[in-house]
């Protein structure tokens, strides 16, 4: 059995470095200050999840981590990148589609003196292009809470596998469709973003829409210039839930030309920002995810993980019980698990 104490040592070193910094004094966006403080104040909770992800990733390797290239995809404030570097990977590559986060992660890395090898900005297509141009060959591509926000995860997979190298991909997501408690909680978030909107706070990107998504889709549909009735605009806004602006406009054009709307939402509540395409915790059909990946000649498994403990003692008792059930049921315990991990191997 592999000894993973070196990950614990890396977590301890990262904790010491984070403890020393004054987050408010770092010249970064309010968005990433919010998340950096969250990581700093709840370090043990998050690192318990990150450690599980890191163990799953390292189990894919046959040699010491010092011989491998690690990619943190959708890295946010960079915490997974920092842990990977402290763990000893030969090269760590950070990526995020939000350019502000790329700049912020660089500043945070400089502040805590953890040298990340590359910072790459852009979506999957831009990321793959940059990797191939620079002849960077990743061995592991990992992320935490990113999969559930990707607009078109099928296209994302098709893009990412064009990297000129064999690699393992591990995406840990808390949008676990198989867990009924999580599913119910996330559907409430869907309702909030779709019909009400939310307050702009420190965890809000400037590119995010804070008002209700359905009202924004009505504005987009109305702006197409077609002579649509009030009822038609409402119907189209409802039926284009889950589409970005460009795809909403295409759907409306098709409707005007054919009298039919070919698109239908694939879930009763899933919804996304119509301008960025970022989903509000997309409840992806896990069986569809596996089938699509296998159809693209990739090896895929969906695995679970354990709950992290917090300062809430009452909740910890429940988590202890659920973790016991996860141990008993093993791979068949997604029903109890707080997350699932998409593991794809490109040979």
Nearest-angstrom CA–CA distance, 125 and 105: 21
State the pLDDT at residue 202: 57
Q: How confident is the model at residue 78 (pLDDT cuts 50, 70, 90)?
A: very high
In tens, the pLDDT along 7-37 reads: 999 999 999 999 999 999 999 999 999 999 9
Domains and CATH numbers, the chain: 5-177+284-346 (3.40.50.150), 180-258 (no CATH)
pLDDT band at 300 (very low <50, low <70, confident <90, very high): very high
Helix spans in the chain (H):
5-20, 30-41, 43-58, 79-87, 99-111, 124-133, 153-160, 180-191, 213-222, 230-239, 245-258, 286-295, 313-329
> What does the alpha-carbon distance between residue 246 and residue 285 come to, in Å, rounded to a whole number?
24
Give 190's pLDDT tier (boundaries 50, 70, 90): very high
Would you call 280 exposed, middle or buried from its count of C-beta atoms within 10 A (0-12, 13-18, 19+)?
A: buried
Instruction: Report the distance separating Cα 176 and Cα 182, nearest Å.
Output: 6
Say whether pTM exceeds 0.85: yes
Can you tell me the mean pLDDT for 131-160? 96
CA atoms of 296 and 299, how far apart (whole Å): 9
pLDDT number for residue 332: 79
């Amino acid at each position: 059995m592999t000894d993973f104490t070196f990950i614990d040592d890396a977590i301890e070193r990262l904790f010491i470095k984070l403890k020393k910094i004054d987050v408010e004094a770092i010249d970064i966006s309010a968005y990433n200050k919010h998340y950096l403080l969250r990581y700093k104040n709840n370090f043990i909770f998050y690192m318990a999840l990150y450690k599980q992800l890191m163990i799953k990733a390292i189990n894919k390797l046959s040699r010491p981590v010092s011989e491998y290239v690690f990619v943190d995809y959708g890295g946010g404030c960079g915490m997974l990148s920092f842990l990977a570097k402290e763990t000893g990977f030969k090269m760590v590559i950070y990526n995020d589609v939000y350019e502000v986060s790329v700049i912020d992660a660089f500043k945070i890395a400089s502040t805590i003196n953890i040298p990340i090898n590359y910072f790459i900005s852009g979506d999957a297509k831009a990321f793959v292009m940059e990797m191939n141009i620079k002849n960077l060959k990743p061995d592991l591509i990992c992320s935490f809470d990113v999969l559930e926000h990707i607009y078109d995860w099928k296209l994302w997979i098709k893009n990412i596998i064009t990297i000129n190298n064999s690699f393992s991909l591990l995406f840990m997501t808390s949008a676990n469709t198989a867990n009924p408690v999580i599913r119910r909680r996330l559907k409430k978030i869907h309702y909030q973003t779709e019909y009400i909107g939310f307050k702009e706070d420190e965890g809000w990107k400037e590119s995010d829409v804070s008002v209700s998504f359905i009202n924004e889709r009505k504005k987009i549909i109305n702006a197409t210039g077609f002579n649509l009735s009030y009822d038609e605009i409402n119907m189209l806004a409802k039926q284009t839930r889950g589409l970005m602006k460009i795809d909403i406009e295409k759907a409306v054009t098709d409707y005007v030309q054919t009298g039919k709307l070919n698109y239908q939402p694939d879930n009763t509540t899933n919804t996304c920002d119509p301008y960025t395409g970022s989903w509000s915790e997309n409840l992806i059909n896990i069986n569809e995810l596996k089938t699509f990946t296998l159809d693209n000649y990739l090896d895929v498994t969906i695995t679970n993980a354990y709950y992290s403990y917090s300062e809430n003692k009452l909740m910890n008792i429940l988590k202890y019980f659920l973790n016991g059930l996860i141990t008993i049921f093993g791979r068949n315990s997604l029903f109890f698990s707080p997350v699932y991990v998409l593991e794809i191997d490109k040979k």
